[in-house]
Amino acid sequence: MSAEAAEPAAGASSTGERDRALGALQGLAIGDALGMPFQLLPRDAVRAGWGAIVGGFAAPAADHPLAGGMPPGAITDDTEQALLVARLLIAGEGRIAPADLARALVAWEDDMRRRGSSDLLGPSTTRAVQAVLRGEPLETAGRTGTTNGAAMRVAPVGIATPGSDVAVLVDAVEAASAVTHATSLALAAASAVAAAVSAGVDGAGMPEALAAGVVAAERCRGRGNWIAGADVAERIRAALALVEAEGPGPGVVDAREREAAVAALLDRVALVVGTSLASQESIPAAFAVLALAPDDPWLAVRAAASLGGDADTIAAIAGAVAGAVHGTAPWSGGPAATVDAVSAARLGVNSLELPAIAEALLALRHRPTRDGAGG
């Protein structure tokens, strides 16, 4: 093995791995900010007002029920809660105590209210947190949580956990999610996202990362509380099959032609796959967009934002996976700096500190195991 190809020592991370971990966090925030103005809007309204595929960061309508008054480039609950999970993981040396997560989410929502925001906890998280505050057992609080809240904040778990052992990865996802989302639907969706991110950090290409997500979602069958709903792994497969059958394919290499072809299929993704906050819609939609633009992360996140519906979450997930696969390069030249500056200013901090968070999550990924080997 040449020096250039040498593996990092146990407990260490390579330059490429650090770039991909940071790319995942940057992509999550960029996708979130791109989708922020278009959440709750139908696909037709996005196309009519901003074009078939949005060109970049935009201001929401003044009367938007969640995002009204937010500046272009601002992040939402998706990124803020993902960073909350990241900090809890780091503080807990790879573990998140369910009670700590519940308390942190309550504190986060209180802070959002003080800031005058209407972008608060989602329905599954709200029900679970209220149950915890009423004194219900932590083990049962999340038994009705089927929506995508766990998936939207799970990317740090994918960065911190190797994907070589799917069972270990899914265990980590469940530990970080079950207090609010303890259903097989939500755990499958979150595991799909975490596994795709983890595979990307390991150096997988987009097809391999998406395939890893499907495998992890399959492993969640029988986990958590069963609530009726389409199987997440099969819905992802169906979304990918739609793209393969009707998408532009690798033969379309001209950038304008490819963007036009992607735009044409977005209507089908919104209609057939769905863009709601249901785990079995929004996560397959994100995977579909990634398959549509596997080598163009900036196109993928703009396309995801253009779907409307739960656009910020779909684009955040697409950005996290695309960044894990492609690293920071796609976000250089403006997007990452814009989101960091705008969001830091709104939060009253100097920076989102994404490089330091990515580095700390990778340290967890490579922490020694019980047999003394690196993770």
pLDDT for res 129: 75
Is residue 9 one of the residues assigned to a domain? Answer: no
Is residue 306 one of the residues assigned to a domain? Answer: yes
pLDDT for res 213: 99
pLDDT for res 21: 98
pLDDT for res 140: 78
Is residue 166 one of the residues assigned to a domain? Answer: yes
- The predicted-structure confidence for 107-118, as pLDDT tens digits, reads as follows 877 777 676 665
pTM above 0.85, yes or no: yes
- Whether the Cβ atoms of residue 299 and residue 7 lie closer than 8 Å to each other: no
Of residues 326 and 126, which shows the higher confidence score? 326
- The predicted-structure confidence for 55-105, as pLDDT tens digits, reads as follows 999 999 988 988 888 899 999 989 989 999 999 999 999 998 888 888 888
pLDDT for res 127: 78
Cα–Cα distance between 278 and 306 in angstroms, integer? 18
pLDDT for res 182: 86
Residue 2 has pLDDT above 70, yes or no: no
According to DSSP, residue 271 is labeled: I
Confidence of residue 371 (pLDDT cuts 50, 70, 90): very low
Cα–Cα distance between 87 and 353 in angstroms, integer? 11
- Partner residues linked to 147 by β-bridges: 278
Report the CATH number that the domain containing residue 111 is assigned in CATH. Answer: 1.10.4080.10
Domain of residue 25 covers 15-55+73-224+232-364
* pLDDT, the chain, mean: 89
Is residue 375 one of the residues assigned to a domain? Answer: no
pLDDT for res 372: 42
Is residue 124 one of the residues assigned to a domain? Answer: yes
Residue 10 has pLDDT above 50, yes or no: no
Structure tokens at 145: 């949580």
Of residues 4 and 303, which shows the higher confidence score? 303
Is residue 250 one of the residues assigned to a domain? Answer: yes
Which residues, 6 or more positions from 85, have their beta carbon under 8 angstroms from its beta carbon? 96, 101, 153, 154, 156, 157, 176
- Whether the Cβ atoms of residue 120 and residue 77 lie closer than 8 Å to each other: yes
Q: Each residue of 332-362: b (16+ CB within 10 Å) or e?
A: eeebbebbbebbeeebeeeebbbeebbebbb
> Tokens 């097809």 map to which residue?
207
**What is each CA distance from 287 to 49, 173, 218, 325, in whole angstroms?**
25, 18, 15, 13
Is residue 65 one of the residues assigned to a domain? Answer: no
pLDDT for res 188: 97
pLDDT for res 8: 39
Cα–Cα distance between 52 and 48 in angstroms, integer? 8
Q: Each residue of 221-246: b (16+ CB within 10 Å) or e?
A: eebbbeeebebbbebbbebbebbeee
Is residue 371 one of the residues assigned to a domain? Answer: no
pLDDT for res 71: 93
Cα–Cα distance between 346 and 104 in angstroms, integer? 19
First to last CA, the chain: 21
pLDDT for res 6: 34
pLDDT for res 124: 75
Residue 354: in which H helix or E strand, if any? helix 354-365
Which residues, 6 or more positions from 325, have their beta carbon under 8 angstroms from its beta carbon? 20, 200, 204, 205, 206, 209, 297
- The predicted-structure confidence for 150-205, as pLDDT tens digits, reads as follows 999 999 999 999 999 999 999 999 999 988 888 999 999 999 999 999 999 999 99
Burial of 81 (0-12, 13-18, 19+ CB in 10 A): buried
- The predicted-structure confidence for 329-340, as pLDDT tens digits, reads as follows 999 989 999 999
- Whether the Cβ atoms of residue 162 and residue 369 lie closer than 8 Å to each other: no
pLDDT for res 336: 95
pLDDT for res 122: 73
- The predicted-structure confidence for 291-319, as pLDDT tens digits, reads as follows 999 999 999 999 999 999 999 999 999 99
Q: How many domains does the chain have?
A: 1
User: What does the chain come to in residues?
Assistant: 375
Confidence of residue 256 (pLDDT cuts 50, 70, 90): confident
Cα–Cα distance between 169 and 22 in angstroms, integer? 19
Residue 365 has pLDDT above 90, yes or no: yes
